[in-house]
Structure 1
């Protein structure tokens, strides 16, 4: 007897049905939808149709997220335990081959890739493969191999994400990896979904460094400039405001065939350490900065570290750190939480040491707080589950997390998300914000240090996010080939001129202390060079922005 059809227990929203139909009619599709708008239910709609034709695969980056999808699938569709199997590396390889016979497979891409390469899995008869968090489908990530294998068996591919990125090259890489033919994007302002979008109040809390920290910053800035000049004199110039161009510079040095390579690498190492120290001082605080310096001291002594540690100015730098108080962000965070102690908070910080320091500081102020980190920081998945469950049960009120909390885990609803620092990645910024305002109106606070990298990172993320919307909307309107096209119909010159003026005015302002996030009107994609590009570079000091052409 043929298995029963799988159906949703509740009727889908009209936009979910429309997107699912577009995927079924137009082929491999990238779906870009704001967080909390039901991308998973679109996946279930596709499964309900394609499971009639063959096996369906739903892939997600982490096992906890796969477990969440399994729980939701069984709760919101007519699928039963007989229809679906959650397969992970925890199951013995010999047993997995039999389990792959189920109608619906939920798994991580790493597990599927390993079993494909080992011959334990064949995608013969597969009708659908869904890639959750599809922005990961770049480089050597397992999604790329699985997508090619599934496409070779004529399976329909669908990628789901809230944030494919603001870099044209990366978006094109995702499109190529998942063999995308069709793009479906809805912005929060679109009337199709605006009634379902929960209000998100985004506020910026500016702080200023104390005089000791400013004096220390000036010393480290001067030392970094000197190292950059040394490298420039050797023929290796790079901006050094952030670490990304420095990593690219290191690759150039390693590729150099001349005799200056080893000396250049030594000076590069000194510069890299100084830039990281500056970032920690400006955006994190004294405690985390001092721990990093101690880490340098405990490493095997090199010319690069000796050049830094034995400089008389660095001794003065460290003396100033001893005299300085903690970063003003900590006091601002404590004040914020104490102003609304009844709310649940999710605080994001970039570095493990800072996560631990923030949580300790909150506990010292009688605020119930715990840390939440990933396996790299020593947290097992069992510890993660226990922490999430304790948070859900109200055993503490503030979860302080590294990037592990941004995606891929079933973290309970929170009232307020706090960025301890702005981050230049538009993908991570969107993921962080998406943790608030899912089922009800939410708030987001961004702690921002004036006159530091915080401001540059803020602008980098903001502009990349705008770029992302333009690029993806362009693919939706003009086809996925628009990214590669040499010439496309451009927007009217009058429109571009007005847009340039608008963008210039927006960038002339500092981040506002209070900014309520309102849906932006979706504009016609401009497929030519923006006249404001030079101004963007000047404002952010980052060469991160790619135009259509």
Structure 2
């Protein structure tokens, strides 16, 4: 039967064809491909096989904007009739969704909708292929986990797509187990079959000194942090000598240990742990964002009507009052802001995305950049700030049309959204997540060489986070390559046994 894929509109690359052929031949697969190398095209080539057989396709993506993007890809790149591609998201009421599940040949939906409607028996899993985009989200209690499990049990062909599955061997193994993975397809920028399609990225640091004017505030916070750690050490809930070695994972483990205690000791421990978490966050804001962002954090704490005992104790501590007083008197802000100004001022005419970890700082960065003649910056934030998905789409469209040249984004700009490729991506601060690092980098060097600049404050956690992310990325590649080899060896073993039997 004639192919549904519109080769007149897009000619797949050789590696895309090869990966799609392997997915079809080898069964449930995990495809790991850097951003911009066309994971969706691979999914469409696999979907083509099922559509030609008269089978239906379910394509899952974690957000509505991503789902809309995929619907558009099917409509533009596949020879399908109007109404063959159906988009189902949480904005539709449950009764309306009931009839829609059976309507199209390709259903594009969010995992949450599928989970809800499977549980209420409003839909059937009558599909040949299920594609799970951004499949690294299939962990814990996320809807993806439930849906993937149901699809695997129903014997459907599963295809997971991601730019990065994470560096934890346990997490990658769980994800592979969940999908019933029999085949892993991974490509890196340096692999022979993709190298000619990859544009070079220049990655460089720009370092700044931590302002000596803020050092006194930092010392006050460190005293308070050390006091909380001393209490937690006394009860052997914590072993770390230095608070800088406390990762989020270690702090979660500490909390779990405290939870296993009983009586008054447990509640005292939880209160000390909560105070430590708040103080560590304040310390990070001071070091990486500046005194004003640090002060705003305490302002929000103070404004809360219901305050925990841990928060009340922090706010009553004379050292916090002194630190806030000193912060209000400072005439300097964080030197990163000035460094950012310099970079963008010298690169006028370029398109930039500036990734900023903390929402308070996004607004500040936009205000500062808009003071530069010839620079137009806008913020790109999520629903928590009251921005609808329609507004997000309009912002991206205006950016694409060149109405402004600097997009200052929170984490919402990292994943999957159809943001145009830019000349330069700037990390306002390094982040310890290899997944988010890969996604951020993928916003440049799509069709032309790109640049990534990482702002780092010397002798602060900025430096540690940079190296953590680098190390985790290397580890991720080692783990995935190891699993890929194991699956290949397993297949060879099964084939040789079959040959012996025959």
Q: Same fold (TM over 0.5)?
A: yes
Q: 1:40-90 CA distances to partner (integer Å, 9 max, x unpaired)?
A: 000000010012331111111111111111112222232332421112222
Q: 1:409-430 CA distances to partner (integer Å, 9 max, x unpaired)?
A: 1112211111111000100111
> Who is 1:28 aligned against?
28
> Who is 2:342 aligned against?
335
Offset at residue 395 of structure 1 (A): 1.7
For the residue of structure 2 that corresponds to 1:469, the secondary structure is helix
- Provide closer, same or farther for how the CA distance between residues 146 and 4 of structure 1 changes in structure 2, counting only shifts above 3 A: farther
For the residue of structure 2 that corresponds to 1:410, the secondary structure is coil
- Pairs within 5 Å for 1:105-504: 105-124=107-126, 126-239=127-240, 240-241=243-244, 242-299=247-304, 300-324=306-330, 325-366=332-373, 367-479=375-487
Q: 1:435-494 CA distances to partner (integer Å, 9 max, x unpaired)?
A: 111122111111011100101111111100000000001111122899xxxxxxxxxxxx
Structure 1's unaligned 5+ residue stretches are 483-549
Whole-angstrom distance in 1 between the partners of 2:320 and 2:489? 53
Q: 1:280-338 CA distances to partner (integer Å, 9 max, x unpaired)?
A: 01111222111101122223455423432333333332233234311110000111111
Q: 1:229-270 CA distances to partner (integer Å, 9 max, x unpaired)?
A: 111113321544344422332232123124311111222222
For the residue of structure 1 that corresponds to 2:123, the secondary structure is coil
> Who is 2:498 aligned against?
none
**TM-score of the two chains, using structure 2 as the length reference:** 0.91
Whole-angstrom distance in 1 between the partners of 2:300 and 2:92? 39
Given that 1:234 and 1:260 are in contact with CA atoms closer than 8 Å, whether structure 2 keeps it comes out as no
> Who is 1:41 aligned against?
41
Given that 1:30 and 1:159 are in contact with CA atoms closer than 8 Å, whether structure 2 keeps it comes out as yes
- Provide closer, same or farther for how the CA distance between residues 393 and 11 of structure 1 changes in structure 2, counting only shifts above 3 A: closer
Q: Aligned pairs, how many? A: 479
- Pairs within 5 Å for 1:60-99: 60-99=61-100
RMSD: 1.8
For the residue of structure 2 that corresponds to 1:412, the secondary structure is coil
> Who is 1:6 aligned against?
4
Given that 1:61 and 1:408 are in contact with CA atoms closer than 8 Å, whether structure 2 keeps it comes out as no
- Provide closer, same or farther for how the CA distance between residues 21 and 111 of structure 1 changes in structure 2, counting only shifts above 3 A: same
Whole-angstrom distance in 1 between the partners of 2:141 and 2:335? 41
After TM superposition, the structure 1 stretch with the greater mean CA deviation from structure 2, 166-175 or 91-100, is: 91-100
Offset at residue 228 of structure 1 (A): 0.3
For the residue of structure 2 that corresponds to 1:69, the secondary structure is helix
Given that 1:420 and 1:447 are in contact with CA atoms closer than 8 Å, whether structure 2 keeps it comes out as yes
Structure 2's unaligned 5+ residue stretches are 491-502
Offset at residue 167 of structure 1 (A): 0.7
Whole-angstrom distance in 2 between the partners of 1:278 and 1:465? 26
**TM-score of the two chains, using structure 1 as the length reference:** 0.84
- Provide closer, same or farther for how the CA distance between residues 233 and 407 of structure 1 changes in structure 2, counting only shifts above 3 A: same
